[in-house]
Amino acid sequence: MSFIQGQDLAKTYGSGEAAMTALDGVSFSIEKGEFVAVMGPSGSGKSTLLSVLGALNTPSRGRYLVDGLDIYALGSDQRADFRRQYLGFVFQSFNLVPYLSLCENVMLPLAVRKMASRQKRELAIAALGRVGLAGKQDRLPSQVSGGEQERTAVARALVNSPPILLADEPTGNLDARTSREVMELLARLGGEGMTIAMVTHSPDCAAYASRVINMQDGRLMEEGLMQVKLAACRA
Amino acid sequence: MNLKDIALLNLRRRKAKAAFVLAGLLIGVATMVALVGLAEALTHEINHKLEKYGANILVTPRSDQLSLTYEGMSLGGFSFETKELKEADLEKIRHIKNAGNLAAVGPMVLGVVRVGRQEVLLSGVDFEASEILKPWWKVEGAAPGPGQVVLGSEAARVLGLALGQEIVIQDRRLTISGLLTPTGSQDDGLIFSQVATAQGLLGKQGLVSMVEVAALCKDCPVEDMVEQISEVLPTAKVVAIQSVVKGRMETLKHFKSFGMGVSGLVALVGSLVVLVTMMASVKERTQEIGIFRAIGFRQSHVMRVVLLEAALLSLAAGVLGYLLGLGAGELALPLFSQGHGAHVAFDPWLAVGSLLLALVVGLAASLYPSLMAARMDPHEALRTL
């Protein structure tokens, strides 16, 4: 059984004539340690798919299983616990809390864990070190560059040592050089055995993934076509 | 980093909103403390003044006859009884359980004497106790010593006597040491002397006709005291002057109702300020709450952050509001009080009460915003980015 499984996932917003189908019977599986990129044009349903994977958006139909756990059969609190224990999120717009230092932002997922403050701080500093931000822990998000903010978001996603990392356009707001740094960081994490699902528009970024899922009109497209293009990008 | 740290850091960041919530609660608590403190101080002062209204318990010999006088006007024959109380028994009144509540005990000896061809009521009174029992008495001249009397204004007019002259009562010459200025009461027609002088003139050595007791004070159990005096003086009839007691109770009731009403109103306004500000704060933090939920905060965790912020502000408002209210009450007191020495005193119960009030109002008003934050759909919250 695959580590992550989506079975006939559908999501419709609104009802009647105004109904809009974002996901239309999507089934897929992701193995442990895979780095999967989800590509597709705007409105293809890839962000909806990521929010379903993030246990944030209940599908209208279908099942979503992680490690054998039917996520949307869980209660609200259990789903929150699942997100905390299994998932790390990296958002396109960083989503750092502006009044918290980089270290405090990274410590956020630990805030509800019973652990000594000193230990939480040590874990956060170690996570910042992993993404190349050692020594910058006391700065506010506004005092560092966009790339550093994105790396802080990655550190926050890593601090709990979750098995899955979900990234939504992680380089969408970054320049080419910083994008490359962030993608190399994600590829390194993938190499360390982390399961990664990343939504991206960029073939350059998708090239770092071990597999690409292409979406259109809420459905999955064949994977083979994309592989050719990605091989060219890697070269 | 824990939920309390997040609450504290958010308060530090949103100083203006925090200050607004603090001000809303602080004004509410301060108003409550000032009003309650003022009411207490004024109640104390009013009680003090009421004590000056005079006697509120009358001790008379028990009788089987009904009175034939009303408000000092005789409506029948001779209604004055000749039964007396023993002066020595009066000491027992000073040893009742609530003796601490006794402001004054004034024995009075009454009897009819002849001055020339005129029959006049002679009253032997304790002039020291009269200062409390009959504070409206103003004596022109001096209080009577041994061998001296004070005349009521009407008695002086009818008898044609003036201050410093001599008066002959029961063949004994006495000096008029003072004249009682008109009181509008029965006292105007009486001659007053010391108790011993009257006892001597009336042949009632060791006896008193009645006793007036002033026992008004805060929370004074007048009815209990009537019972206690009745127990030690079984041959006496002990009566509380209900109008004074009821008047006092009515005054206190009105003061307290007013204080409670205004405090309730201000607390309501304070809670609305907290509610509106906290709701605005929650809406402003939609993104942040979305992040919290996405990284694994439960609904209860989000609620706890909002309620912790409210609790911290409420506690601060409770402490500062109490101090501010105490100061405001003290400053406002001269506007309401005519007395000297009245002040809004530190009251530990009021301090605890103001803390609890701030906490209850702050938390109750923040409950809905915290629920709103907790129930926020994390997917929707993150879509607002």
**pLDDT tens figures, B321-369:** 999 999 988 888 887 776 666 777 788 888 998 899 899 999 999 999 9
Verify that B270 and B320 share a domain, yes or no: yes
Residue A235 has pLDDT above 70, yes or no: no
A117 touching chain B per CB within 8 A:
yes
DSSP letter for each residue of B80-98? -----EEGGGHHHHTTSTT
Verify that B64 and B208 share a domain, yes or no: yes
**pLDDT tens figures, B219-248:** 567 778 888 899 998 888 888 875 655 666
Verify that B42 and B102 share a domain, yes or no: no
**pLDDT tens figures, B99-111:** 877 888 899 999 8
Report pLDDT for B300.
Answer: 93
Residue B281 distance to chain A (closest CA, Å)? 14
Q: Pick the residue with more confidence: A181 or B193?
A: B193
Verify that B278 and B323 share a domain, yes or no: yes
Q: Which long-range contacts (CB under 8 A, 24 or more apart) does B253-256 make?
A: B255/B39, B255/B42, B255/B43, B255/B46, B256/B39
pLDDT tier at B77, thresholds 50, 70, 90? very low
Verify that B17 and B132 share a domain, yes or no: no
Verify that B221 and B123 share a domain, yes or no: yes
Distance CA A217, CA A211 (A): 20
For the residues A49-73, what does the mean pLDDT come to?
A: 92
Query: What's the CA dihedral at B45, B51, B56, B60 to 10 degrees?
Result: 160
Name the residue facing A111 among B6, B300, B382 (closest C-beta).
B6
**Of residues B202, B201, B212, the one with CA closest to residue B108:** B212
A37 touching chain B per CB within 8 A:
no
Residue B284 has pLDDT above 70, yes or no: yes
Three-class SS of residue A220?
Answer: strand
Q: Which residues of A168-179 are buried (b: 16+ CB within 10 A; e: fewer)?
A: bbbbbbbeeebb
Q: What does each C-alpha distance from B148 to B145, B168, B191 come to in angstroms?
A: 5, 11, 10
Verify that B94 and B209 share a domain, yes or no: yes
Decide: residue B300, CB within 10 A, 0-12 exposed, 13-18 middle, 19+ buried. middle
Distance CA B169, CA B346 (A): 57
> Final residue of a domain: which of B240, B258, B278?
B240
**Interface with chain B: mutation pick from A108, A120, A161, highest number of B CBs within 10 Å:** A108
> Final residue of a domain: which of B202, B218, B240?
B240
Chain B contact set for A165 (CB, 8 A): none
Q: Which residues of B89-124 are buried (b: 16+ CB within 10 A; e: fewer)?
A: bbeebeebebeebbbbbbbbbbbebebeeeebbbbb
Q: Which two tokens stand for residue B212?
A: 């007036």
Residue of A nearest to B381 (CA): A56
Verify that B40 and B62 share a domain, yes or no: no
Chain A contact set for B301 (CB, 8 A): 80, 111-112
Indicate the average pLDDT of chain B.
Answer: 84
Q: Which domain holds residue B264?
A: 3-48+249-383
| Cβ-defined contact of B379 to A56 (cutoff 8 Å) | yes
Q: Which residues between 64 and 83 in chain A have a beta carbon less than 8 angstroms from any beta carbon of chain B?
A: 76-77, 80-83
Phi-psi region of B119 (alpha: psi -120 to 50; beta: other; left: phi over 0): beta
pLDDT tier at A37, thresholds 50, 70, 90? very high
For the residues B283-310, what does the mean pLDDT come to?
A: 90
Distance CA B325, CA B310 (A): 21
**Of residues A90, A129, A131, A105, the one with CA closest to residue B1:** A105
Chain B contact set for A91 (CB, 8 A): 382, 385
Report pLDDT for A102.
Answer: 94
| Cβ-defined contact of B382 to A100 (cutoff 8 Å) | no
Verify that B60 and B43 share a domain, yes or no: no
Distance CA A123, CA A135 (A): 14
For the residues B14-19, what does the mean pLDDT come to?
A: 87
Verify that B254 and B322 share a domain, yes or no: yes
Which pTM value belongs to this model? Answer: 0.68
The proportion of chain B whose per-residue pLDDT surpasses 70, expressed as a percent, equals: 86
Q: Pick the residue with more confidence: A59 or B56?
A: A59
Q: How open is the CA angle B344-B348-B349, to the nearest 5 degrees?
A: 100
Report pLDDT for B385.
Answer: 43
Verify that B26 and B127 share a domain, yes or no: no
Residue B162 has pLDDT above 60, yes or no: yes
> Final residue of a domain: which of B178, B212, B240?
B240
Element spanning A43, H or E: none
- Asked if B214 and B91 touch (Cβ cutoff 8 Å), the reply is no
Length of chain B: 385
Name the residue facing B295 among A89, A93, A104 (closest C-beta).
A89
Residue A230 has pLDDT above 70, yes or no: no
Residue B78 has pLDDT above 50, yes or no: no
Verify that B79 and B115 share a domain, yes or no: yes
Q: Pick the residue with more confidence: B192 or B56?
A: B192
The total of structural domains in chain B comes to 2
pLDDT tier at B179, thresholds 50, 70, 90? very high
Q: Tell me the CATH number for domain A4-95+163-234.
A: 3.40.50.300
Residue B320 has pLDDT above 70, yes or no: yes
Name the residue facing B301 among A51, A110, A112 (closest C-beta).
A112
